[in-house]
Amino acid sequence: MNIIMTRPLIEIENFMSNLLSRGHNIVHLPTLKIKPISTASFDLENFDAVIFTSANAIRSLRDIKNVKKIKCFCVGSITERIARSSGFINTISASGSVIALKNIILNSKELNDGARLAYVCGDNITQDIEKDLTMEGFKVTQIVNYSSEKIEEVSDQTLKLIKKYPVNVIFVYSLRSAEALLTIIKNYSLAPIMTQSKVMCISKNIADFFEKNGWKNVATFRPGEEMLNLEIVK
């Protein structure tokens, strides 16, 4: 199959290698540029737990102390793996959704009422877990340590690949990425060769966005189960 991947290379390099080894044609079309934001160093000892809803927040950490002791809540298994490789030991992951992550935190026996939570995230979030947890009585400090800038231009080489290999499947991992992708399609008149593709979305929120914009072949997948979903499409 001909597959478009929209995530930054650092996040999908292993998955792309796996796809190539299985004979798929891959076009890498990144739609977001991740940039670390300089923040004052903070000591996690001042918190009872830390929350990550994106692996980008972990990769953008600088000069953080006491990562081994603190309870670390991660949105999914991939984020948890990055957290553990960065030194966090006491980790737990949800099923890949912010709602599931919130429920795990609310039901955690390791957190008391009014627990201090550090929510490390990017400058654009689609679900406000900070607000939800604050309403439940937690003391949440939001620490923004990276920005996501939309990429709306495509190289000539990438355009040639898209036109040479009619797209079967597109993987999309965030709402901002979906927005940037539709802008690219419009700017480069790619609708005739892309809108019939199967769009695999990491959340229902993203799938709804594509459907509202007239896309018919839309589905969702669980993080880490991309290959399984490809077999179903195939």
3-state secondary structure of 230: helix
> What ranges do the domains of the chain cover?
2-31+151-233, 35-148
If you write DSSP's letter for every residue of 45-99 in order, what string do you get? GG-SEEEES-HHHHHT--S-B-TTTSEEEESSHHHHHHHHHTT--SEEE-SS-HH
List average pLDDT for each run of 10 residues in the chain, which is 234 residues long.
Answer: 92 86 93 86 88 93 82 92 94 89 95 95 88 96 93 95 93 95 97 94 94 95 79 64
Q: Considering only CA atoms, which of 207, 219, 51 is closest in space to residue 128?
A: 51
Sign for the CA dihedral angle at 147, 102, 12, 175 comes to negative
Compute the 3-state secondary structure of the chain and give helix, strand, coil in percent, each to the nearest 5: 40, 25, 40
> How is domain 35-148 classified at the CATH fold level?
Rossmann fold (3.40.50)
Q: What whole-number distance in Å separates Cα of residue 160 and Cα of residue 5?
A: 16
Sign for the CA dihedral angle at 159, 165, 171, 175 comes to positive
End-to-end CA distance of the chain, in Å?
8
Domains 2-31+151-233 and 35-148 are alike in CATH topology: yes
Q: Considering only CA atoms, which of 178, 171, 189, 187 is closest in space to residue 213?
A: 178
Q: What whole-number distance in Å separates Cα of residue 30 and Cα of residue 4?
A: 9
> How is domain 2-31+151-233 classified at the CATH fold level?
Rossmann fold (3.40.50)
